[in-house]
Amino acid sequence: MNRDFLKDSKRVVIKIGTNSIMKSPGEIDYRKIDRLSYVCSVLQQQGKEVILVSSGAVGVGACTLKLKEYPETIADFQALASVGQCALMNLYCRFFQHYDQYVGQILMTRDIVDFPISYVNCQSAINSLLARKIIPVINENDAISTDEKTYNRKFGENDTLAAVVTELVDADILIILSDVDGLYDANPHTTSYAKLIPSVGNVDEDILGMAEGAGSTFATGGMATKLKAAKYLMDNNKSMIITSAEDPSLVFDIFKGNEIGTLFKKDVREKALQGEEK
């Protein structure tokens, strides 16, 4: 699938997961946060508008409080997320400032996008930051998010949040930096012959069937959530790439049109078929 369209991307969302900013449950990967801050800052200086969706509040909070596992109660979990979010944003502020780049925090819950007035307000807040060349750093507000039958305020994981943000701000592309290079035809951690799939034009049942569960103690997402995010975006005529977070500078190569990771972009032939059916 041709990737030349990526060279013209102006507004981009980059999402990084908990596994990618934590070396282990008790150790933060400062090098990774530094490299990510550098990449986002350079892209901003090149004239792109960058939105960063970052997981990791719970992982960083657990590291800060020297915990080995999740708290058992919702209240304790929310307290942990609150501590972790402060620590995480402190790290981003420090590293981004090294590259003369300001960041602004936005914490979201699902009701922001479920109610029209909240949706527009959130959209305006992000656009206002971008207009001032400030990079929004977005996370779910785990300190107050709830998941109830009568009132769902929780995204659940940040792959979905990143996809919603991409649609919300009408970004050109979502890049998910993960602990894998992209989508494989088998689990690359357990299967030696697994092959990377360079592009996907339609997220069907066969593609969804390739996914497996979450990656670690403090991570809530996995390949399944990424594929659902890809389907959501493709249904809204948006594109997404999954690639490794090991070297965030690979994002520069993505915007050169190089074949990095797995590209999810609705197949032109699929669009034509849908048009004929109408």
Mean pLDDT by groups of 10 residues along the chain of 278 residues: 94 94 90 97 97 93 88 88 95 97 94 87 96 96 64 66 96 94 83 89 85 46 85 95 95 97 81 48
- Annotated binding residue 216: no
Known binding residue 55? Answer is yes
The contacts of residue 174 (CB under 8 Å, 6+ apart) are 12, 13, 14, 15, 162, 163, 166, 229, 233, 238, 239, 240, 241
Contact present, 197 and 185 (Cβ < 8 Å): yes
**Residue 64, annotated as binding a ligand:** no
225 is in an annotated binding site: yes
Burial code (b: 16+ CB inside 10 Å, e: under 16) for 231-246 equals bbbbeeebbbbbbbbe
Tell me if 160 is assigned to a ligand binding site: no
Helix, strand, coil percentages, rounded to 5, for the chain = 45, 20, 40
15 annotated as belonging to a binding site for a ligand: yes
Give the separation between CA 46 and CA 271, rounded to whole angstroms. Answer: 32
Reading the block at residue 239, the tokens are 């594109």
Q: Which residues pair with 137 in a beta bridge?
A: 52, 105
What pLDDT was estimated at residue 38?
98
Q: Is 225 helix (H, G, I), strand (E, B) or coil?
A: helix
